[in-house]
Amino acid sequence: MHPVRKLWCRVYQTAFRIVLPVLPYREPKPLKTFGDAADLLVRKNIARVLIVTDRNITKLGLTRELEQDLTERGVAYTIFDEVVPNPTITNVEAARERYLADGCGAIIAFGGGSAMDCAKVTGARIVRPKKPVTKMRGILRVLRPLPLLIAVPTTAGTGSETTLAAVITDDKTHYKYPINDFCLIPHYAVLDYRTTLGLPAHITATTGMDALVHATEAYIGRSTTRETRERAIEAVSLIRSYLLRAYRDGSDAEARAQMLHAAYCAGIAFTKSYVGYVHAVAHSLGGQYGIAHGLANAVLLPYFLDEYGEACEKRLAELARRSGVAAADAEDAEAVRAFITWTRDMNEQMDIPATLPGIRNEDIPAMASHADAEGNPLYPVPRLMDAHELERMYHVVQDPVDACGVAEGTHETVDGAEAAPTAPGIVARMKRVVRVAGRRAKRAARRARTTVRQNR
């Protein structure tokens, strides 16, 4: 990155760090049960509420208990269950129409980050009828209190129930971007681990790793506070103790409850201390290809930690030691190695691949430029990178089969056309293909063993 731009980014981030104590952050007020949520609506004289969720969740019957509680207390409800993963502007507009057509007075966001983010931006559009979603991108563009918003997270997770962010995809352009505003923080949240008991193992894995990325990116960034550091440490410690347990046995109530708490802590950490380039790149991949957010984050995390190198060594080592990932007396370099190895091991044990399929070379410059626009100047990352530097990271996680011609040893001609691969390039690519095939075979064998165990 150009030194002048670097300076601008750091000045911008410092300004935000200085004003942090006076910014209107808040946490959602906790509600113990769905009955409490229904009682709250009665107290607020709300006759009808919009439940924003997705079809999978309604099909599983997860909203049934809430619906019963609302009916018992005489609160009418409309269910909008058309939210898709990586929720779109079309989702938001359709939810808003239902809200207005049915005369709703509040919103319950019921689901993972997708449902919660869609609900947040639906609320923003209701109070900002003349401002399209595209004009809300960035920070502080809503600036008006939302209708009463209650969040019920069913993945653990995004932490969206406590953050000021909502990430939306423009379905016309495939551009996925965050909208950040204090008014998007839900007013209330119901953290009930029972809603997460049926979460399939692979979603448990990737959403749990998303929470790990939140805590890690917040901790190694340059705008932490004592509170956000403590919350990040708590999140990583809990993820270390409980994620594999929840992954292996979805009905483990203690593991589910602790993971829900971990995701919440990580949410608190990053809503004040930001995420970083792992997220910026993951969002661009989600917008372009619909890659699940947690999956992209999980795959990217160890590569970015490697890439930051010394720039994050001190902080990452401290996080590793204090969360128990590394020994309490480990030297910085050793602790960092332990942390990065641990993230790779976690991925491997939960069948999360080391690369992402489908990344096309021709899409990389535009995705990198979106990631640059998201991350700079806002995210106080350990080492600043511009679009050009970020491009490399897409190649690093690109499945070798999709890479076709950009593996090590190839080069571009002056007019941008790819030159014929060189012999070392072909060898390097073949090595990568063999490596990935080996990992896939290992994963398939592990899956087969698990199935046999479960069928016994």
Ligand X SMILES: NC(=O)c1ccc[n+]([C@@H]2O[C@H](COP(=O)([O-])OP(=O)(O)OC[C@H]3O[C@@H](n4cnc5c(N)ncnc54)[C@H](O)[C@@H]3O)[C@@H](O)[C@H]2O)c1
Q: Does 85 bind ligand X (CB under 6 A)?
A: yes
Q: Does 158 bind ligand X (CB under 6 A)?
A: yes
**How far apart are CB 274 and ligand X at their closest, in Å?**
11
Which residue among 9, 13, 54, 104 contacts ligand X (CB under 6 A)? 54
Q: Does 163 bind ligand X (CB under 6 A)?
A: yes
**How far apart are CB 374 and ligand X at their closest, in Å?**
11
**Residues 216, 39: Cα–Cα separation, whole Å:** 37
Query: 41 or 295, CB closer to Zn ion?
Result: 295
Interaction partner, residue 204 (ligand X, Zn ion, none; CB < 5-8 Å by kind) = none
Q: Residues with Cβ < 8 Å from 156, sequence gap 6 or more?
A: 196, 199, 204, 207, 208, 211, 246, 256, 259, 260, 262, 263
> Which among 72, 24, 49 is positioned nearest to 149, based on CA atoms?
49
**How far apart are CB 157 and Zn ion at their closest, in Å?**
9
Interaction partner, residue 155 (Zn ion, ligand X, none; CB < 5-8 Å by kind) = ligand X
Name the amino acid, one letter, at 391.
Answer: E
Which residue among 174, 187, 293, 429 contacts ligand X (CB under 6 A)? 293
Interaction partner, residue 117 (Zn ion, ligand X, none; CB < 5-8 Å by kind) = ligand X
**How far apart are CB 449 and ligand X at their closest, in Å?**
24
Q: How many CB atoms lie within 10 A of CB 110?
A: 28
**Residues 42, 106: Cα–Cα separation, whole Å:** 11
Binders of ligand X among 295-324, rule CB under 6 A? none
Q: Does 122 bind ligand X (CB under 6 A)?
A: no
Binders of ligand X among 208-247, rule CB under 6 A? 210
Which residue among 69, 117, 217, 234 contacts ligand X (CB under 6 A)? 117
Query: 41 or 371, CB closer to Zn ion?
Result: 371
Interaction partner, residue 122 (ligand X, Zn ion, none; CB < 5-8 Å by kind) = none
Interaction partner, residue 85 (Zn ion, ligand X, none; CB < 5-8 Å by kind) = ligand X
Q: Which stretch, 55-63, 337-345, 347-355, 417-425, contacts ligand X (CB under 6 A)? A: 55-63
CA 293 from centroid of its chain's CA atoms: 5
**Residues 199, 86: Cα–Cα separation, whole Å:** 18
Query: 133 or 336, CB closer to ligand X?
Result: 133
Tokens (6 digits) for 85: 């993963």
Query: 210 or 374, CB closer to Zn ion?
Result: 210
Interaction partner, residue 196 (Zn ion, ligand X, none; CB < 5-8 Å by kind) = ligand X
Q: Which stretch, 2-10, 193-201, 225-233, 396-404, contacts ligand X (CB under 6 A)? A: 193-201
Q: Which stretch, 25-33, 159-167, 309-317, 421-429, contacts ligand X (CB under 6 A)? A: 159-167
Interaction partner, residue 56 (ligand X, Zn ion, none; CB < 5-8 Å by kind) = ligand X
Name the amino acid, one letter, at 31.
Answer: L
**Residues 281, 97: Cα–Cα separation, whole Å:** 32
Query: 193 or 421, CB closer to ligand X?
Result: 193
Q: Which stretch, 14-22, 25-33, 54-62, 229-237, contacts ligand X (CB under 6 A)? A: 54-62
Which residue among 114, 224, 258, 343 contacts ligand X (CB under 6 A)? 114
Binders of Zn ion among 179-218, rule CB under 5 A? 210
Q: Does 70 bind ligand X (CB under 6 A)?
A: no
> Which among 116, 159, 106, 166 is positioned nearest to 136, based on CA atoms?
166
Binders of ligand X among 258-287, rule CB under 6 A? 286
Query: 280 or 335, CB closer to Zn ion?
Result: 280
Which residue among 9, 31, 38, 57 contacts ligand X (CB under 6 A)? 57
Q: Does 253 bind ligand X (CB under 6 A)?
A: no
Phi-psi region at 176: left, alpha or beta (left = phi > 0; alpha = psi -120 to 50):
beta
Place of tokens 């009930």: 192
Which spans of this chain sit near ligand X (rule: CB under 6 A)?
A: 54, 56-57, 60, 62, 85-86, 111-115, 117, 154-155, 157-160, 163, 165-167, 195-196, 198-199, 203, 207, 210, 286, 293-294
Residues that bind Zn ion (CB under 5 A): 210
